[in-house]
Amino acid sequence: MPPLARIGIISIGQMGLGISHLLTASNYQILTNISDRSAATQSRAKEASITLVLTDIDLVAQSDYIFSIVPPRDAIATATRIVDAFSAIKEGRKGREPLYYLDLNAIAPSTARKIEELIRERAPSIRFIDGGIIGGPPSPPSNSSGESPAKAEEWTRPGVPLSGPHTLASASISGAHLAATLNTLFLDSRIGTASGLKCSFAALSKGFTALALQSFTTASNLGCCDALEHYLDRYIPGAKAKAGKSIVGCPPKAYRWVEEMNQIGLCFTEDGGWSHEANVFGRVAGVYGELAQVVEKRGGTEGMGELDGAIAALRKGLKEGKITKDELEKLIAE
């Protein structure tokens, strides 16, 4: 049976890989250009039945849709790569259905509008959709098997809000099926609405995590962590469990969250109407920057898989001092 559509995904990180698994199980062909990535990443993509191409030109030439799922700081650069590739082969796509470009990154509405402007000015035939991903990577039900594959709605899936003048559900190549498979929610026709919703959600979830990191580390330094947990259980039921899960889960992602917090700050200032003085998320970015530095200094997250271990490692790392600004920039850029 031929694939329902060909979808290029940039890049195949944890989320990109999860979405690839979901779409492959739903009879979509996934392509990616990871020619500049490690052998381990390329091997992981092959094991997931992802078609590897050598250039962005190949990716654009063969895809019906392009999904951008990259660290926030790379969102504009990734869109520029695709526009450059599209411009190089524009004649080669004549007679085909329009190429759809979905930005699913954690960016501010103004950043999404910059990408839309870039596409409108240089590749107006590309149909741009503003989006975001809320929740963890897709995963199949535990009782699924190769003999009886699970339906998309049986998977654990994140929510994917979308906005803009072009709707995924109306795309001629399996658009309605793809929109349903991805668990999308169309918000409105404005570029920036979906990105703003993602920012608003992440501010609450990751903002809480940043507060938990500082609260538990400080309480631990003071020798009153047990008492903190006691009072959380008594007066804010569920907060201790949420804090513990958040603290343990965030160290491997901290470097990605630095720019995401900056983008949330932009969103709240530009679209929320808050003054620069009220922008707390620049400081929240600093919390994740310091956590990223600790992880880099330690050479990874080993021993941080439990709350006590994570807090102990963070306390020790903060006392030992920070890595250099150049080292942090390199870490965030990787």
Does residue 292 sit within a domain?
yes
Q: Is pLDDT at 326 greater than 80 in this prediction?
A: no
Amino acid 222: pLDDT: 97
pLDDT, tens digit, for every residue of 68-94?
999 999 999 999 999 999 999 977 777
Give yes or no: residues 171 and 46 share one domain: yes
Last residue of a domain, one of 124, 159, 191: 191
Of 333 and 254, which is predicted with more confidence? 254
Last residue of a domain, one of 191, 210, 226: 191
Does residue 78 sit within a domain?
yes
Distance CA 191, CA 201 (A): 17
Amino acid 333: pLDDT: 45
Q: State residue 6 phi and psi, 5-degree precision.
A: -110, 125
Q: Is pLDDT at 325 greater than 60 in this prediction?
A: no
- Residue 98 is part of which domain span? 6-191
Does residue 260 sit within a domain?
yes
Give yes or no: residues 181 and 265 share one domain: no
Give yes or no: residues 45 and 185 share one domain: yes
Could you tell me whether strands 65-68 and 51-53 are parallel, antiparallel, or unpaired per DSSP bridges? unpaired
Give yes or no: residues 183 and 245 share one domain: no
Does residue 104 sit within a domain?
yes
Total domain count for the chain? 2
Give yes or no: residues 204 and 187 share one domain: no
Q: How many whole angstroms from its chain centre is CA 308? A: 27
Give yes or no: residues 59 and 179 share one domain: yes
Amino acid 38: pLDDT: 78
pLDDT, tens digit, for every residue of 149-163?
788 889 999 999 999
Does residue 46 sit within a domain?
yes
pLDDT, tens digit, for every residue of 269-320?
999 999 988 889 989 999 999 999 999 888 899 999 999 999 999 999 888 8
Give yes or no: residues 32 and 111 share one domain: yes
Give yes or no: residues 158 and 296 share one domain: no
Q: Is pLDDT at 322 greater than 70 in this prediction?
A: no
Q: Domain holding 87: CATH number? A: 3.40.50.720
Helices (H), ranges, 223-253? 225-235, 239-249
Q: Enter the pTM of the model.
A: 0.91
Give yes or no: residues 10 and 158 share one domain: yes
Q: Are 107 and 197 in contact (CB under 8 A)?
A: no
Last residue of a domain, one of 156, 191, 226: 191
Amino acid 320: pLDDT: 82
Give yes or no: residues 146 and 211 share one domain: no
Give yes or no: residues 159 and 285 share one domain: no
Q: Is pLDDT at 98 greater than 90 in this prediction?
A: yes
275 cis-preceded (ω within 30 degrees of 0): no
Does residue 1 sit within a domain?
no
Does residue 49 sit within a domain?
yes
pLDDT, tens digit, for every residue of 165-195?
999 999 999 999 999 999 999 999 999 999 9
What phi-psi label fits residue 174: left (phi over 0), alpha (psi between -120 and 50 degrees) or beta?
left
Q: Domain holding 319: CATH number? A: 1.10.1040
pLDDT, tens digit, for every residue of 24-57?
999 999 999 987 777 777 888 888 899 999 999 9
Q: Is pLDDT at 9 greater than 50 in this prediction?
A: yes
Of 249, 208, 212, 248, the residue nearest 14 (C-alpha): 249
| Edge-to-edge strand list for the sheet holding 100-103 | 51-53, 29-33, 6-10, 65-68, 100-103, 127-131, 160-163, 184-186
Does residue 329 sit within a domain?
yes
Give yes or no: residues 15 and 112 share one domain: yes
